[in-house]
Structure 1
C-alpha cells in the first residue's frame, strides 16, 4: 500500500498537485464545492479500498435484514451478508460473530509513559490526578499500559495509520472478555482500547473493563478509549462512567469538520461523532483533573487545512475551553501513501 510521491490529478476539475492523493482522486476544493457531483467518485475510491479485504463496500441496508445498532452505520445485514465492519454475518437468519463475550482483538503491554494521544495531559504521562488516579507525581515510570487493539472499524479512512487490521476483521472472534481482563497484572496502571476502533465491539470492551476493575478494586486502574466516536450513545455513556470513575479519559479523533470532507476521507458521516462528543461534555466538569475528554485531529496534507482545524477548534471551545486538543502529524499510509508527511 505504498507508492512514490508524485503529482496527481483531480478527476473532477483536472487540477494537478502533490497534495491530491491518487487514492481518492479528488482535490479539496471539488469536495467542498461539488460534493453531490463527485460523490460517485468518492464511493469508487472507498470500494477500491475495501474490496481486497472482502469488506462490504457500503453499510448494508437490506430491507428485512438483521439489524445491528452498535454504531452509526446501523447495518441491516442480508442473508449470507456481512456488516460494514466485517465482524458480524447473517447466517440462516442468525447474527454470528463478535459478542460481549468473544472479541476480535489483540493486545500488548506498553511501558509508561507511552505515545498515547493524551500522554501530555493524562496521569500516565504527567501524574495528573495524583494520588487518587496516578501512582506518582510525574510520569508513571515502572508501570505499563495494557494496549487493546480491536481488529475492525466502523469507518473506512483512506489515510488509516493501522490499515492492516482489515485483513483480520472477518476472522473468527475468539478472545474471551475474561481472558483479556486477566491480562491486567500488578504493574498495569491503565487499559487503553483502540484499533481499528472499539465502537463495533464496545460490549466486549465494557465487559472486560468491568471484570478487570472488579479484580483490581483496591488500586488504581484507569479505563481509556481512543475512538472515532461512532458508537451508540447508550454504550458511550457506559464507557464514560467507567472512565470517569477510574481516572481514565476518552480520546475522540475528530477527523474533519465538514461532513462532506469526512465522507470523502472516511466513507461515513461525522454527525454521530460530533453528537457523541457534545454528549460527553456533561462529564467534563465532574472531574477536571485529570482531563476526562481529549480531542485530536490528524493533519492530512491537502485535505485537513486551516479552515477545518479552525472550525473543529471553535466547536470544541464552544463546548468547553478546558478540553485538550492535539494536532497529530501525518505519516503516508494506506490509500494516501502518496501524500507527503506533515511539514
Structure 2
C-alpha cells in the first residue's frame, strides 16, 4: 500500500493501482518552430517545409508552423546515459495536466504533436486520449495534426493498435529507440530487457505497407562508446532489414550524460563505419544524426 511503480506514474492506493489516466499526467509542453530537431526530420514532410505540397485549404502563409512537444515526467526504463535525467525531479511534483487541457494547447498553428519524455509509455492512456481530442477538434477546414511518438517501445502489446492508428491516420511517425541488440547490453544500459521492444517493433513493421509513401515507423540507435559497438549495430540493422529494408534508421552520435559522463563522444570514424555496417546489413535508408557532435 502506497508503493510507487518503477516508472513513477503508478501508485498502489486502496488495493488498486492509481495513475496513468486521461484525468491527469505529469508533463511539460512547449512549442518548437518547424523544422525542429527531430530524429525523423530527414524524411518527415514537416521536417523540411519546401517538400510540403500546396495546401488548398489554407490561406497562403497561414500554414501551421509549430510542433507541440509533450514531455512526460515518467519512464519505464532507467538509462545510464539519459539526456533528460532531470525530469525525474518532477515525477512526483504533484502537478498534473488533463488530456482535455493538453488538447487545447494544439491551436491553429500546430502542425504536429510529438509525445516523448521520459517516455510516453507509462502515460499512453493520457496521450492517446489527447490525440483523439485533438483529432475531434480539427475541422474540415484544415488537415489533421500529425501525431508522433518518441519511445523505447516497451509498452504492452494491446497498445500497439491505437498507437499505430494515431500516426497512420494523421501522417505522423512512431520513432522507436532501439538501444541495443543483445539482451545483456540492453539490460546493462537501461535496467530492462529488450524483448518487448523488439517484439513490438516487429509487429508494427508488419504494417509498414499501409502507408508506403511516408513510413510511419522508424528506428534510431545512440552509438554509446564501449557498449553499442559495430556488432550491436549489425545485429539491429540485420533485424530491421529482415522486417522491412525500407524502414528508416538513424544512428545518433553520443554525448556524455548522467551516469556515463566519463565516456567519450562518438568518433567520426566509428559513426561512418557504423552507417556502412547498417547499409551492408540490408537497411536501405540509414542516416547519421547529431553529426555536429562527432569528434
Q: TM-score range by the shorter chain?
A: 0.7 to 0.9
Q: 1:262 matched to which residue of 2?
A: 186
**Is the contact made by 2:35 and 2:49 (CA closer than 8 Å) also made in structure 1?**
no
Instruction: Spell out, residue by residue over 1:95-146, the C-alpha distance to the aligned partner (whole angstroms, 9 max, x if none).
Output: 233312211111000010011000001011135985499999xxx9860100
In the alignment, structure 2 segments of 5+ residues that lack a partner are 268-295
Instruction: Spell out, residue by residue over 1:133-166, the C-alpha distance to the aligned partner (whole angstroms, 9 max, x if none).
Output: 9999xxx986010000011100010010110111
**SS of the counterpart of 1:103?**
coil
Alignment of 1:36-47 (within 5 A): none
Q: 1:304 matched to which residue of 2?
A: 228
Please give the alpha-carbon distance, in whole angstroms, between the structure 1 residues aligned to 2:213 and 2:99.
29
Change (3 A) 1:225 1:118: same
Equivalent residue for 1:202, pick from 121, 124, 127: 124
| 2:22 is aligned with 1:100 | yes
| 2:9 is aligned with 1:90 | no
Post-superposition offset of 1:87: 1.2
Change (3 A) 1:324 1:332: same
**Is the contact made by 1:129 and 1:247 (CA closer than 8 Å) also made in structure 2?**
no
**Is the contact made by 2:69 and 2:115 (CA closer than 8 Å) also made in structure 1?**
yes
Equivalent residue for 1:337, pick from 261, 264, 267: 261
Change (3 A) 1:90 1:103: same
Please give the alpha-carbon distance, in whole angstroms, between the structure 1 residues aligned to 2:55 and 2:152.
25
Post-superposition offset of 1:173: 5.2
Change (3 A) 1:87 1:201: same
Q: 2:71 matched to which residue of 1?
A: 149
**SS of the counterpart of 1:175?**
coil
**SS of the counterpart of 2:242?**
helix
**SS of the counterpart of 2:76?**
coil
